Amino acid sequence: MIPTRSIALRLGALFAAAALGVFALIGIALHRVFDHAIEAHQFEELDTKFRDIEYFIKRVRTPEQWAHIHEKLDALTPPDGSTRYWIWSDDPDVQYGASRAEIASISGGRSDGDAGRGQAIIERHEAPMVTRNEYFPADANHPALRFMVGIDSTPFLRTEREFEQALIAWSTLGVILVAVLGYWAARFGLLPLQRISREAQQIGVTHLSQRLDTKRLPRELSDLGLSFNGALDRLEGAYQKLEAFNADVTHELRTPLANLIGQTQVALSRERTAGELEETLQSNLEELERLRSIISDMLFLARADQGEKAMSLAPASLAEEVHKTVEFLDLITDEAGVTVRVEGDASAPVERSLLRRAITNLLHNAIRHTQSRDEIVVRLSETEADAQIAISNPGPAIPREHIGRIFDRFYRIDSARPNSGENHGLGLSIVKAVASMHAGTVFASSDNGMTTVGFTVARATAASR
């Protein structure tokens, strides 16, 4: 009979060999996922910078506004040249940035009818710049032009190299740990493990409420059973959220899809003029844009439901971020005839892109429900634990039975608030998701003719909880 110690050593060696293969496969998969995440992060940062300026280019109405756009580009260009902007046009008043002569090569979106992402080799840059560019045809407000944004890829390449080194080191350590733990695991009784395996195999989609009987497990395996049951609890909760997600998407997408189908069927029911077909296409385009916005927001909320946290945390002045967002929305506030006043300040480690997205959603919500010549107030405060952003606007009070549900997905208060059809009801849900990703909460109140909606973010080390 083979001694127990020999079995333990042999199983430990087998665990180590298996772990080596698994870690190798996982390392390859993680490396590919990391590459994809780095690329996605680059493109997300690039798209954000691009959309910031694209918004103003599409709303140019007078030649004098180009000087305002150039000033914004000067302010957004860092001294180290890690972000660059170019506007190429036959009109010298529109052009911005150096000429194409300093660019050795450009890939992606090189012809006048083409647009997209690519890379550009810039003189005195050791690494290529990741770029996005788009061609804007001439119209009544501006001449034909091409706008391009580029960001330096050097920090991303450096991060990738550091990740590879850490992956190799931790994979090696992981193999050693698995070998040691495998040796000790083999000394536990195999019969309880087999029973756990049989019980686990009976768990399926139709039996998500079933759990392991931890009372029958040996003391050494009770923690494993409890952890497994905890994982099943999370799995069941995730499955229920997935069902709710599918129901929300099905319900919200049904109307625009029905509109698209109905309008198209009507357009095809008889011969139409070019103008009538163009009107139908324009209406369909609006519905498609709405569908795209819903899908994008739902994917973001799905990631938040999965526990995704804000990663790129950096200390920031919330007042400064609010002022930048208000400045970005100045055309919208001017058109609505409302003003925004910022009171106080607070500091907290935040991911700036997420914070500005939440502030933008709250300001959009306040602007929609504020009468012309009224004032929106943004109040900032902080405690030792968190920082608070509260946005107040005058208007009809929200009934008490609705105030607790305004952060729910697709929830609208048609009887109490106007303009509910202009959005798809995910703006405040995204605010709640951003707050959760920063270990914060949301709040709302409505009385005395003033509605206040806001959120908190954790300060100092609390943000990493």
Contact status, residue 455 vs residue 440, Cβ threshold 8 Å: yes
Indicate the pLDDT class of residue 209, thresholds 50, 70 and 90: low
Closest CA to 122 of 104, 98, 148: 104
CA-based angle 437:168:43, to the nearest 5? Answer: 45
**Which pLDDT score, from 0 to 100, does residue 325 have?**
92
Same domain assignment for residues 276 and 325: no
Whether residue 48 is contained in a domain is answered as: no
pLDDT at 465 over 70: no
Bridge partners for 348 per DSSP: 316
Bridge partners for 452 per DSSP: 392, 445
* Range in 36-50, 110-124, 161-175 the model is least confident about: 110-124
* Structure tokens that stand for 316 in this block: 């920031």
* Burial of 40: CB neighbours in 10 Å, binned 0-12, 13-18, 19+: exposed
Same domain assignment for residues 367 and 264: no
Whether residue 175 is contained in a domain is answered as: no
Contact status, residue 221 vs residue 193, Cβ threshold 8 Å: yes
Which one-letter amino acid corresponds to residue 359? I
CA-based angle 41:106:56, to the nearest 5? Answer: 60
Instruction: Indicate the length of the chain as a whole number.
Output: 465
**Which pLDDT score, from 0 to 100, does residue 392 have?**
93
pLDDT in tens, 328-373: 999 999 998 999 999 999 999 999 989 999 999 999 989 988 888 8
Q: Cα–Cα distances in Å, from 460 out to 20, 345, 354, 380, 464?
A: 39, 16, 17, 17, 8
Whether residue 428 is contained in a domain is answered as: yes
Task: Give the residue from 308, 331, 348 where a domain finishes.
Answer: 308
Q: How many domains does the chain have?
A: 2
* Structure tokens that stand for 218 in this block: 């040996």
Whether residue 210 is contained in a domain is answered as: yes
pLDDT at 191 over 70: no
Same domain assignment for residues 456 and 327: yes
Same domain assignment for residues 241 and 372: no
Same domain assignment for residues 355 and 297: no
Same domain assignment for residues 327 and 421: yes
Q: Tokens 């647009």 appear where?
A: 115
Same domain assignment for residues 415 and 394: yes
Distance CA 343, CA 357 (A): 20
Higher pLDDT, 214 or 31: 31
- List alpha helices for 187-273, DSSP H: 190-201, 219-268
Distance CA 432, CA 278 (A): 39
Its domain, for residue 237, covers 190-308
pLDDT in tens, 440-454: 999 998 888 889 999
Question: What's the chain's Rg over C-alpha atoms?
Answer: 28
* Contacts of 386 by beta carbon, 8 Å cutoff, 6+ apart: 348, 440, 456, 457, 458, 459, 462
Task: Give the residue from 260, 284, 308 where a domain finishes.
Answer: 308
SS3 annotation, 284-309: HHHHHHHHHHHHHHHHHHHHHHCCCC
Q: Tokens 């997205």 appear where?
A: 357
Q: Cα–Cα distances in Å, from 172 out to 15, 180, 319, 372?
A: 14, 13, 46, 65
Distance CA 350, CA 464 (A): 10
pLDDT at 439 over 60: yes
Average predicted confidence (pLDDT) for the chain = 79
Q: How many CB atoms lie within 10 A of CB 180?
A: 12
Same domain assignment for residues 351 and 295: no
Whether residue 54 is contained in a domain is answered as: no
Same domain assignment for residues 233 and 370: no
Same domain assignment for residues 442 and 320: yes
Q: What is the CATH number of the domain that holds 421?
A: 3.30.565.10
Whether residue 296 is contained in a domain is answered as: yes
Closest CA to 149 of 42, 230, 293: 42
Same domain assignment for residues 346 and 223: no
Higher pLDDT, 20 or 433: 433
Distance CA 61, CA 185 (A): 72
Whether residue 174 is contained in a domain is answered as: no
Task: Give the residue from 253, 277, 308 where a domain finishes.
Answer: 308
* Burial of 201: CB neighbours in 10 Å, binned 0-12, 13-18, 19+: exposed
pLDDT in tens, 33-78: 888 888 888 888 888 888 888 888 888 777 788 888 888 888 888 8
* Range in 161-175, 196-210, 383-397, 415-429 the model is least confident about: 415-429
pLDDT in tens, 248-286: 667 667 777 887 888 888 888 888 888 888 888 888 888
Same domain assignment for residues 260 and 358: no
Whether residue 88 is contained in a domain is answered as: no
CA 286, 288, 292, 298 torsion: positive or negative? positive
